[in-house]
Amino acid sequence: METQEKSKTKVILTKGEMFFRDDFPLYINRVYEWFDLPEHTHDFWEICYVWEGSGFHYIGNQVLRVKKGDLFLLETGVSHIFRPASQSTRNGLIVGNCIFNEQVLAMLSTGLSFPFKPFSLDRFRPGQQGWKQFQEKADEFADLFDKLYREYNERKQGYECMVYSLLLQLLLLLERQAATQLSSATDDLDSNHIPGLSNAYRTRLDDALSYITKHLSTPLTLSQLAAHMQLSDRQVQRLLRRFTGRTFTEMLQSQRMKQSRLLLQQTDFAIADIAPMVGYQDLKHFHRLFKSSTGMTPAQFRVKHLP
């Protein structure tokens, strides 16, 4: 986290009615960030994409260094402001903003009907985490923002449908990347890698992950974890699903497989001994799960990873 200074100005409220027009609850712009705009919050959702340059993003109580390709999804009520890295216009900070109200998000999440399995935007429901940060891999955000900006400003026939469809594509890309980020973070059982997680939820999640790690060799159940955390089974399941994208059973199995891989690589314990160390009394069941997870039997994995 950076420790740049910002002026102690009053946080202002920006309202969507200042931008939405013709009863169309979306607005897209492209702006050069400077030092004149005060820190602000808003009554709409916002997707901010760093189009060019570098600088800083003051968001909540954090200061993040940003560069081209960074993208932020902000819920209603999050205070923030961008600042360029310096007062030189040569390397200016250009940010694209796509703003929309909660009704748009609800419509895209649940209001569309398709003749196939419905998709999910569960991580982008109001009240989840405040804000989330993403980084594009190969200009995939840039391409969509270019199209969004062009469609919105040219306003050709049917532009509203085009803007909605492009926003949906963007949200689905973010949903996929969020799932990947969470999977990577929880493979290492480190909540610090989960972006935008509040301290209260981080403490609870760390407690859950730590307890799972310490009890991999036992027949651990969801009810045992819930009793330890003094929560209901449903509350714990919801916590894990919400912030890791996995159920309790999926999380437990993932960590057992990870520990078994480490034991195969770093020790000479027999495979028949490793299985119960990670909670599997049935050796055949352990073999099936391990091969499903890695594509190899435990013996093949050990040979492949010999030092």
Q: Does residue 96 contact residue 145 with C-beta atoms inside 8 Å? A: yes
The CATH-assigned architecture of domain 12-181 is Sandwich (2.60)
Q: What is the pLDDT of residues 186-205, one digit of tens each?
A: 455 454 544 444 456 667 77
> According to the model, what pLDDT value does residue 5 have?
46
**What's the token pair of residue 241?**
């699903």
Spatial contact of 50 and 79, defined as CB atoms under 8 Å apart? no
Q: Where are the domains of the chain?
A: 12-181, 199-305
Indicate the pLDDT class of residue 115, thresholds 50, 70 and 90: low
User: Which pLDDT does position 110 carry in this prediction?
Assistant: 67
Distance CA 226, CA 208 (A): 9
Put simply, whether the predicted model's pTM sits higher than 0.75 gets the answer no
Give tens-digit pLDDT for 78-107: 999 999 887 766 568 999 999 999 888 888
Predicted confidence (pLDDT) per residue in 204-225, tens digit: 778 888 888 888 889 999 999 9
Query: What CATH code would you report for 199-305?
Result: 1.10.10.60
